[in-house]
Amino acid sequence: MADPETPANNQGPVTISSSSSERAPIIYFDGASCFGHHNGAIQIELAANLLMPVGAAVRVDVIQTAHLRCSVAAALALREALDKALAMYRQGQQQPVTEEIPTVKN
């Protein structure tokens, strides 16, 4: 039996249907409000902040934006994708600007 903690490295070619990509929702979140597991499924609740005007002040309401449910293997694949995306972000932040704006003298 395969180890559910270790994602399979060679799962063969995967084709993502082009008809599904335009219909997939975009989920924005500011954080994970809570997490857990039940019957082998990983459970993560994603939340976002809403700014609500109250007179001259602003109140922050936190709302759930998604209920993420997945297998352990899918959670490991998501963590790997997030780690790689963060590494790409850090690499982009460290690269010096190669093109400088010329100084205009009057």
Residue with tokens 């109140």: 59
pLDDT tens digits for 23-47? 888 999 999 999 999 999 999 999 9
Q: What stretch of H or E contains 49?
A: strand 41-54
pTM exceeding the 0.75 threshold for the entire prediction: no
Residue-level length of the chain: 106
Collapsed DSSP state (helix, strand, coil) of residue 99: coil
Rounded Cα distance between 84 and 89, Å, is 9
Q: Does residue 5 have a pLDDT over 70? A: no
70: β partners: 42
pLDDT tens digits for 49-99? 999 999 999 999 999 999 999 999 999 999 999 999 999 999 988 877 666
Q: What is the pLDDT of residue 8?
A: 53
- Check residues 6 and 83 and name the one with the higher pLDDT: 83
List the structure tokens of 31.
């954080």
